[in-house]
C-alpha cells in the first residue's frame, strides 16, 4: 500500500495493517463481470487517522471494514469526490434546493432509531427490492450504524422546523480531515418528485463549503454503469487515477 506525503501514518502503524482479498463474485454493476475486494479492519488504534489515509487512497467504509475494488483485469470502479471549492450551482441544482427549502438538516449521533429504520425499509422496498440489503433487520441496521470505529454522524433531514417533523431522508456520513464521505443515504420513496437523492448530495457539498472542507467523497463511479452515471453531474468531479486525484474529463 502506497501513501503520499499527506497520507503518512504514524511510524509502525502502516506495517501493522493487514489487508485481505475476497473471493470472486458476480459484479453488481457490469453484467458478465466478476468483482473482488481488498479490505482491512478499522477497529484499531488511530482508526480516524487510518481511515483518512485510506479514503484518500480510494477505500470506502462499511461498518468497521475499509475496502476497495481489487478486480482482476478490470479498473472500471473509480473512486470519485467533488471538489467543493470550485463547485457552482446549476439552474437544475437551484430548482432542487427550492423544491426542498422546507427541509431542515440535523446532525445526530451515529446511533440507530426505529424511525430511521422504518424509512430505510420503505426506501429499500421501493428502490432495491430483492437486493442484498432488502431483508435487513433492525439488528442489521444497528450494526451498520453503530459499528463505526471512526468519526461518523447521521444527518437527519426533517420536513419542517420541529424535532418531530417528518423524517424524509437520512445520510450516514463519515467526517474526514478533508471533507465528508457519504457512506449511505436513504429517503422517502413517495417523495420522488422532489429529487431527494440529488438534494442530499447538494446539501453535503454546500455544508462542506460552509465549513471550508474541500471534498465530498461519493464512493465509486463505474464507467458503463447507468446507475452510477448520476455522479458525473457534480462538477468539478475528481477521480482517483492510480494514486493521483485528477479532474474527470467530460469525454471519459
pLDDT single digits (tens) 56-115: 999 999 999 999 999 988 989 999 999 999 999 999 999 999 999 999 999 999 999 999
Q: At what angle do helices 91-99 and 196-211 cross, to 10 degrees?
A: 100
What is the model's pLDDT at position 58? 94
> How much is the pTM?
0.92
In this prediction, residue 251 has a pLDDT band, given cuts at 50, 70 and 90, of confident
What is the model's pLDDT at position 126? 87
Asked if residue 145 belongs to a domain, the reply is yes
Q: Is the pLDDT of residue 129 over 80?
A: no
Three-state SS at 187: strand
Q: Is the pLDDT of residue 7 over 70?
A: no
Dig out the grid coordinates for 149 from the structure: 470505529
The parent domain of residue 173 ranges over 89-211
pLDDT single digits (tens) 173-220: 999 999 999 999 999 999 999 999 999 999 999 999 999 999 999 999
Which residues of the chain form beta strands (DSSP E)? 20-21, 25-26, 34-35, 37-41, 60-62, 65-69, 77-83, 103-109, 152-159, 167-176, 179-187, 215-222, 237-241, 244-247
pLDDT single digits (tens) 139-171: 999 999 988 999 999 999 999 999 899 999 999
Dig out the grid coordinates for 229 from the structure: 452515471
Mean of per-residue pLDDT scores for the chain: 90
Asked if residue 61 belongs to a domain, the reply is no
Rounded Cα distance between 11 and 28, Å, is 38
What is the model's pLDDT at position 226? 85
Residue 133, domain CATH: 3.40.630.30
What is the model's pLDDT at position 66? 94
Asked if residue 249 belongs to a domain, the reply is no
Rounded Cα distance between 16 and 32, Å, is 36
What is the model's pLDDT at position 243? 86
Burial class (CB in 10 A: 0-12, 13-18, 19+), 120: buried
Beta strand pairing call for 65-69 and 77-83 = unpaired
Asked if residue 179 belongs to a domain, the reply is yes
Asked if residue 173 belongs to a domain, the reply is yes
CA-to-CA separations, 15 to 11, 41, 50, in angstroms, rounded: 8, 13, 12
87 dihedral zone (left: phi>0; alpha: psi -120 to 50; beta): beta
In this prediction, residue 39 has a pLDDT band, given cuts at 50, 70 and 90, of very high
Q: Is the pLDDT of residue 2 over 60?
A: no
Asked if residue 29 belongs to a domain, the reply is no
- The total number of structural domains in the chain stands at 1
Amino acid at each position: 500500500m502506497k501513501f503520499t506525503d499527506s497520507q503518512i501514518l504514524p511510524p509502525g502503524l502502516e506495517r501493522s495493517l493487514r489487508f485481505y482479498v475476497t473471493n470472486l463474485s458476480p459484479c453488481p454493476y457490469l453484467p458478465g463481470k466478476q468483482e473482488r475486494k481488498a479490505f482491512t479492519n478499522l477497529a484499531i488504534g488511530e482508526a480516524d487517522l487510518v481511515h483518512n489515509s485510506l479514503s484518500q487512497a480510494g477505500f470506502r467504509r462499511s461498518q468497521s471494514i475499509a475496502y476497495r475494488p481489487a478486480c482482476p483485469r478490470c479498473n472500471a470502479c473509480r473512486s470519485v469526490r467533488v471538489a467543493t471549492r470550485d463547485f457552482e450551482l446549476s439552474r437544475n441544482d437551484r430548482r432542487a434546493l427550492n423544491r426542498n427549502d422546507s427541509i431542515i438538516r440535523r446532525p445526530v449521533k451515529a446511533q440507530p432509531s426505529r424511525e430511521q429504520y422504518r424509512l430505510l425499509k420503505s426506501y429499500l422496498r421501493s428502490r432495491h427490492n430483492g437486493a442484498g440489503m432488502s431483508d435487513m433487520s433492525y439488528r442489521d441496521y444497528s450494526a451498520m450504524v453503530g459499528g463505526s470505529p471512526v468519526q461518523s454522524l447521521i444527518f437527519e433531514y426533517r420536513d419542517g422546523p420541529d424535532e418531530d417533523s417528518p423524517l424524509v431522508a437520512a445520510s450516514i456520513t463519515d467526517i474526514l480531515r478533508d471533507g465528508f464521505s457519504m457512506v449511505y443515504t436513504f429517503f422517502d420513496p413517495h417523495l420522488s418528485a422532489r429529487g431527494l437523492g440529488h438534494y442530499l448530495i447538494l446539501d453535503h457539498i454546500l455544508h462542506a463549503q460552509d465549513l471550508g472542507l474541500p471534498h465530498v467523497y461519493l464512493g465509486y463511479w463505474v464507467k458503463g454503469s447507468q446507475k452510477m452515471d448520476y455522479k458525473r453531474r457534480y462538477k468539478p468531479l475528481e477521480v482517483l487515477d492510480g494514486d493521483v486525484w485528477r479532474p474527470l474529463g467530460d469525454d471519459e
